[in-house]
Amino acid sequence: MRVAATRWLPVLVALVVLGGAVAEAADVTLHQITFPERNEIDVDFTRTPQAPAARLEAEVRYREGQAQIELKFKDMKPALLFGGDVTCYVLWAVSRDGTTENLGELWVREANDKLEFATPLKAFALLVTGEAFPFASRPSELVLFMSAPSSNKKAPSDPFQLEALEPTPTVGMSSIANISWDSSKPVDVMQADKAAELAEREGAGEYAPQIMREATIALSQARNFALASSRRKEAIDYSRRSVTLFGEAIQLTQRRKQREALEREIEKRQQEMAALEERARQAELQAQAASRQAGEAKVALAEAEEQKRLASEAVATTQAELVRLEQEKAALALEKQGLVDEREQLLAEKQTLEAEKQGLVEQQDQLKGSVQELSERAEKLRQEREQLSNRLQGALSQVADTRDSARGYIINLPDILFDLNEATLKHEAKVVIAKLSGILLIMPELNLRVEGHTDATGSEEYNQKLSEERADSVRRFLHAQGVDFDRMISEGYGELRPVADNSTKEGRQKNRRVEIIISEGTVAEAEP
């Protein structure tokens, strides 16, 4: 089956409308290979039914903390043949613990070619997936090629299951195994066209207008150069630039959408909290009023009891006088009747007061129940605040090694994220810091302090300068990702604040680090 470049996109769109899709992949079985120091290990690949009918093989050499990977392929076809949202292939290094590292895009401009990649991992499997963008953070379910177990005894293999893959991008073809490609149009230009479509669909024009303008200009230049066969290199360069810019626009758009959603959630929680606090205040006022009423009723009851006692004494006195003054019974009969009537009236008043007292006691019990309910709601609010704090710590822990301290959350960036004796951030460091910037952009109340440290190797003056440059490099990259400068402080301490013994290799490696301390308000400097 052969699909020409001038008509394959409408065909694939039609297939999507008719329901063409790749079935969700089950858990993928991979083989982790432990690569020995300074040995070249050949790695073969197996292909899935969805993959093009191509052959992949790699040669891996591990030395000085880096695995150098040379990947060769034959009869490869562009990922664009899948149609839908698939634009590229991505090569992944996958560890048995589930760690996945995006090694970069597997560019296919020629059917037969070789590419070079690198990773600090020593034990890993290799995986090729189809993706919408080269900068994907986790493999999709569109798995195409997997590294096979090693037959070399120096490089043992261990099988494991890779779970929780990202959903497959929308596709038009369930498989491109039997499809040929005969386009004269550069693949990079077509990839850039699809990147522009995805960015517009994401709404990046609203959230990242400046980047979208730059990306559109680069795409227009790529299209113009593609019309001239002598300008193929320029067409490729501008296509790659536009894909990168469209990718940045989508990332920024997604971060800003996440921030808006989080701000809406925070505002909703604050409104609910304010309403509950107002209800608690009103209930407290009602409880105070009820308490005053209960006090007044208690005083009235005491007065009634006193009146009852006096009345009882009066009745007793009258009866005594009746016994002693029997002879004056007739004369005092009217007076006695009056006293009896007065006694009955007092008893009726007593009953009324007792009924009022009982009502006040019941009302007081009801108010106590309301106060208990409001106390439980206040405790629930406290727990929700604690959960928000735990969510922040969990998000930071997914970005890098994070611990909690009296100064705030401390994120540790190890020395391997910088070139040796340099302050230039590696790609892996930029990925980690870019994720951190996404969290900081949606939580503007957080400030941070970037602190650089070295081991005791070299002069104190050199180490001080290197630590300052590395801390400032992280600060400037965070600013480039949108974090305001006035939220950040960078400082270098050279070899003055080790966390391990400088006499050992492991201790020196721990001492070479950059720490990012995140907290609300002013971030305090660590004590010497």
Regarding whether 458 and 364 lie in a shared domain, the answer is no
Give the separation between CA 63 and CA 308, rounded to whole angstroms.
103
pLDDT tens digits for range 391-439: 776 777 777 788 888 888 999 888 667 877 888 888 888 888 899 899 8
pLDDT tens digits for range 65-120: 999 999 999 999 999 889 888 999 999 999 999 999 999 999 888 899 999 999 99
Give the separation between CA 318 and CA 329, rounded to whole angstroms.
11
pTM, full prediction: 0.47
Q: How confident is the model at residue 18 (pLDDT cuts 50, 70, 90)?
A: very low
* Residues of the chain by 3-state class (helix, strand, coil), percent to 5: 50, 20, 25
Pairing of strands 40-47, 2-3: unpaired
pLDDT in the model for residue 156:
95
Mean pLDDT for the chain overall:
85
The DSSP 8-state label assigned to residue 523 in this structure reads P
Specify if 223 maps to a domain. no
Q: Find the domain containing 342 and state its range.
A: 272-393
8 A C-beta contact, residue 204 and residue 195: no
The encoded tokens of residue 416 equal 């391997």
Which of 158, 182, 206 delimits the end of a domain? 182
Which of 346, 375, 393 delimits the end of a domain? 393
Regarding whether 173 and 85 lie in a shared domain, the answer is yes
Regarding whether 171 and 28 lie in a shared domain, the answer is yes
Residue type, 153: K
pLDDT tens digits for range 164-179: 899 989 888 888 888 7
* pLDDT(10) > 50: no
Specify if 238 maps to a domain. no
Specify if 253 maps to a domain. no
Give the separation between CA 408 and CA 243, rounded to whole angstroms.
38
Regarding whether 88 and 52 lie in a shared domain, the answer is yes
pLDDT in the model for residue 378:
62
Q: Which helix (H) or strand (E) holds 408?
A: strand 408-414
Cβ-count burial 340-349 (b if 16+ within 10 Å, e if not): eeebeebeee
Phi-psi region of 408 (alpha: psi -120 to 50; beta: other; left: phi over 0): left
> What is the mean pLDDT of the segment spanning 264-288?
88
The encoded tokens of residue 63 equal 């030395």
Regarding whether 460 and 375 lie in a shared domain, the answer is no
Report phi then psi at 72, rounded to 5. Answer: -110, 145
Regarding whether 146 and 9 lie in a shared domain, the answer is yes
pLDDT above 90 as % of the chain: 39
Q: How confident is the model at residue 315 (pLDDT cuts 50, 70, 90)?
A: confident
Specify if 248 maps to a domain. no
The encoded tokens of residue 135 equal 């900068």
8 A C-beta contact, residue 477 and residue 425: yes
Regarding whether 366 and 478 lie in a shared domain, the answer is no
Specify if 201 maps to a domain. no
Give the separation between CA 168 and CA 243, rounded to whole angstroms.
20
Q: What is the tally of structural domains in the chain? A: 3
Regarding whether 346 and 286 lie in a shared domain, the answer is yes
Give the separation between CA 336 and CA 333, rounded to whole angstroms.
5
Class of residue 81 by CB neighbours under 10 A (exposed 0-12, middle 13-18, buried 19+): buried
> What is the mean pLDDT of the segment spanning 193-200?
88
> What is the mean pLDDT of the segment spanning 12-19?
31
* pLDDT(220) > 70: yes
Q: Which range among 2-16, 27-41, 139-153, 362-376 shows the weakest confidence by mean pLDDT?
A: 2-16
Which position has the higher pLDDT, 4 or 33? 33
Cα three-residue angle 267-271-277, rounded to 5 degrees:
140
Specify if 259 maps to a domain. no
Regarding whether 24 and 173 lie in a shared domain, the answer is yes
Regarding whether 134 and 57 lie in a shared domain, the answer is yes
8 A C-beta contact, residue 179 and residue 76: no
Regarding whether 361 and 414 lie in a shared domain, the answer is no
> What is the mean pLDDT of the segment spanning 243-263?
89
Give the residue among 255, 273, 522, 523 at the shortest CA–CA distance from 388.
273
* pLDDT(9) > 60: no
Residue carrying the six token digits 């009345």: 311
Give the separation between CA 204 and CA 249, rounded to whole angstroms.
6
Give the separation between CA 155 and CA 383, rounded to whole angstroms.
50
Q: How many CB atoms lie within 10 A of CB 57?
A: 16
Which of 393, 413, 439 delimits the end of a domain? 393
The CATH number of the domain holding residue 485 is: 3.30.1330.60
Pairing of strands 143-147, 40-47: antiparallel
How far CA 430 is from CA of 399, 434, 500, in Å, comes to 11, 6, 26
Regarding whether 432 and 294 lie in a shared domain, the answer is no
Q: Which range among 84-88, 184-188, 230-234 shows the weakest confidence by mean pLDDT?
A: 184-188
Specify if 230 maps to a domain. no
Specify if 264 maps to a domain. no
Report phi then psi at 149, rounded to 5. Answer: -60, 150
Give the residue among 525, 518, 517, 511 at the shortest CA–CA distance from 414.
511
Q: How confident is the model at residue 295 (pLDDT cuts 50, 70, 90)?
A: confident
> What is the mean pLDDT of the segment spanning 189-211?
89
How far CA 112 is from CA of 58, 107, 145, 207, in Å, comes to 14, 11, 16, 40
Give the separation between CA 253 and CA 204, rounded to whole angstroms.
5
Give the separation between CA 251 and CA 263, rounded to whole angstroms.
18
pLDDT in the model for residue 382:
62
